[in-house]
């Protein structure tokens, strides 16, 4: 599998204007090698150029991982003295003949630390953005990847269901978040969660990316829980909104609107459909209901090995959905200083429509 991915990358480089790409520890490197390296003060960089064995620069302590590679690599190891690290990068770049060439980089992942060493090893090279080439590698998920994501969804849903009985009025957002994290690990999530759960209630729920605080849950709050699990490196990203005790009529109304918008967004996807159409489907429901200005973000984003990746469900994105693409549908309404609602599901595009991986009840549920 990983060898096929390497060949796909090499083929993409041949048709692009890039002579090579460099990758440091992160999802793309893991996708390409099946291995996980630490992102740390000791740089690790894989150089990939068509028609040549990849070159890997790494600290000596990581050398045993070279034997685990699914294909042949040229290893350039360095010791603990940073003054010697430039030599390893220079030797790797020379082995692939990269100085003066176009070496693509992954801007959202590559740090200045690695870039400085690579540039010192190939000072006459150009370093253009390779995001399009690299994101295409992970854009369409195969069956094994979808199965891992489906399992991550199941772990997440089971974890929240196990947490719900412990929710009580007077409990803090932070306490609820901690209990949810414990349940995620108990139910089998990878040790590295995709993100820290968002647990926000009352006025805090009107902030889409709130962090849990010491505010206590109160009767009348809407409670937003945005959480996810990871399985074999693939993630889930879900949101449900609950009522803490009895809530007012507007809270019930906006919850129902968001629920309808979520259903419209899930139904709108499919092969050949522009991403913008998914966004329009959810936004139309909320705007028709008179709450358009309170839906302040895109409808969704791609998911896989990262919580946010291609494709993006926003109004100006005319990229066409294809089988294997996976994304979230997460419309929301956020009433500042009052309450907010978001309902989020994970879907994968199939040959005939979409497969909704999540099925936790979306109706308003009373807790506390």
CA 108 vs CA 85, 326, 352, 356: distances in Å: 23, 20, 33, 28
Q: What is the pLDDT of residue 62?
A: 96
Q: In this structure, are 124 and 78 located in the same domain?
A: yes
Q: In this structure, are 170 and 105 located in the same domain?
A: no
State how far the Cα of 8 lies from the Cα of 3, in Å rounded to an integer: 9
Q: pLDDT tens across 220-250, in order?
A: 999 999 999 999 999 999 999 999 999 999 9
Task: Kindly state the percentage of the chain with pLDDT values over 90.
Answer: 99
Write the DSSP string, 164-218.
GGG--TT-BHHHHHHHHHHHHHHTT--SS-SSPPEEEEGGGGGSTT----SPBP-
Q: What is the pLDDT of residue 349?
A: 98
Beta-carbon contacts of 188 under 8 Å, excluding residues fewer than 6 positions away, are 155, 229, 231
Instruction: Say if strands 332-335 and 339-342 run parallel, antiparallel, or are unpaired.
Output: antiparallel
Give which of 237, 232, 185 is closest to 36, Cα–Cα.
232
Q: Residue 7 pLDDT > 90, yes or no?
A: yes
Q: Supply angle C-alpha 201, 196, 205, rounded to 5.
A: 15
Q: In this structure, are 149 and 126 located in the same domain?
A: no
Q: What is the pLDDT of residue 108?
A: 93
Q: Residue 262 pLDDT > 80, yes or no?
A: yes
Q: In this structure, are 307 and 283 located in the same domain?
A: yes
Q: In this structure, are 66 and 160 located in the same domain?
A: no
Q: In this structure, are 186 and 268 located in the same domain?
A: yes
Residue 179 sits in a domain whose CATH number is 3.90.230.10
Residue range 192-207: mean pLDDT, rounded = 98
State how far the Cα of 27 lies from the Cα of 303, in Å rounded to an integer: 12
Q: Residue 67 is encoded by which pair of tokens?
A: 């034997």
pLDDT category at 208 given cuts 50, 70, 90 is very high
Q: In this structure, are 195 and 95 located in the same domain?
A: no
Which DSSP category does 9 fall into? Answer: H
Q: In this structure, are 187 and 327 located in the same domain?
A: yes
Find the length of the chain: 368
Residue 66 sits in a domain whose CATH number is 3.40.350.10
Q: pLDDT tens across 44-87, in order?
A: 999 999 999 999 999 999 999 999 999 999 999 999 999 999 99
Q: pLDDT tens across 140-191, in order?
A: 999 999 999 999 999 999 999 999 999 999 999 999 999 999 999 999 999 9
Q: pTM for the complete prediction? A: 0.94
The domain total for the chain is 2
State how far the Cα of 10 lies from the Cα of 50, in Å rounded to an integer: 5
Domain final residue pick, 88, 114, 138: 138
Q: What is the pLDDT of residue 342?
A: 98
Domain hosting residue 189, numbered range: 140-367
State how far the Cα of 328 lies from the Cα of 260, in Å rounded to an integer: 15
pLDDT category at 2 given cuts 50, 70, 90 is confident
Query: Mean pLDDT of all residues in the chain?
Result: 97
Q: In this structure, are 23 and 102 located in the same domain?
A: yes
- Write phi, then psi, for 160 (nearest 5 degrees): -70, -40
State how far the Cα of 350 lies from the Cα of 345, in Å rounded to an integer: 16
Q: pLDDT tens across 296-337, in order?
A: 999 999 999 999 999 999 999 999 999 999 999 999 999 999
Q: What is the pLDDT of residue 1?
A: 75
Q: Are 7 and 13 in contact (CB under 8 A)?
A: no
- Write phi, then psi, for 62 (nearest 5 degrees): -95, 0
Q: In this structure, are 177 and 83 located in the same domain?
A: no
């Amino acid at each position: 599998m990983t060898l096929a991915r390497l060949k796909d990358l090499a083929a993409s480089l041949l048709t692009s204007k890039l002579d090579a790409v460099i990758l440091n520890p992160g999802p793309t490197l893991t996708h390409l090698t099946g291995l996980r390296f630490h992102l740390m003060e000791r740089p690790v960089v894989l150089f990939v150029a068509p028609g040549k064995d990849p070159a890997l620069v790494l600290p000596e302590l990581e050398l045993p991982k070279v034997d685990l590679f699914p294909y042949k690599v040229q290893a350039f190891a360095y010791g603990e003295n940073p003054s010697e690290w430039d030599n390893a990068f220079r030797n790797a770049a020379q082995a692939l003949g990269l100085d003066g060439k176009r070496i693509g980089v992954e801007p959202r992942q590559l740090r200045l630390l690695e870039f400085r060493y690579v540039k010192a090893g190939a000072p006459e090279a150009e370093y253009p953005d390779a995001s399009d080439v690299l994101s295409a590698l992970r854009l369409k998920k195969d069956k094994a990847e979808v199965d891992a994501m489906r399992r991550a969804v199941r772990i997440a849903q089971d974890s929240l269901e196990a947490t719900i009985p412990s929710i009580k009025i007077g409990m803090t957002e932070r306490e609820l978040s901690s209990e949810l994290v414990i349940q995620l690990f108990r139910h089998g999530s990878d040790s590295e969660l995709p993100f820290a759960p968002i647990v926000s209630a009352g006025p805090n729920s009107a902030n889409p990316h709130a962090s849990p605080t010491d505010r206590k849950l109160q009767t009348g709050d809407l409670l937003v829980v945005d959480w996810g699990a990871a399985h074999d490196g693939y993630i889930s990203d879900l949101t449900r909104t609950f009522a803490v005790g009895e809530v007012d009529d507007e809270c019930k109304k906006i919850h129902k609107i968001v629920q309808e918008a979520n259903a419209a967004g899930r139904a709108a996807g499919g092969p050949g459909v522009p991403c913008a159409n998914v966004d329009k489907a959810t936004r139309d429901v909320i705007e028709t209901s008179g709450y358009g200005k309170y839906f302040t973000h895109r409808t969704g984003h791609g998911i896989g090995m990262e919580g946010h990746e291609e494709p993006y469900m926003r109004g100006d994105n005319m990229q066409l959905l294809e089988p294997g693409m996976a994304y979230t549908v997460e419309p929301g309404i956020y009433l500042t200083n009052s309450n907010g609602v978001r309902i989020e599901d994970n879907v994968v595009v199939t040959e005939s429509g979409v497969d909704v991986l999540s099925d936790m009840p979306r109706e308003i549920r009373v807790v506390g």
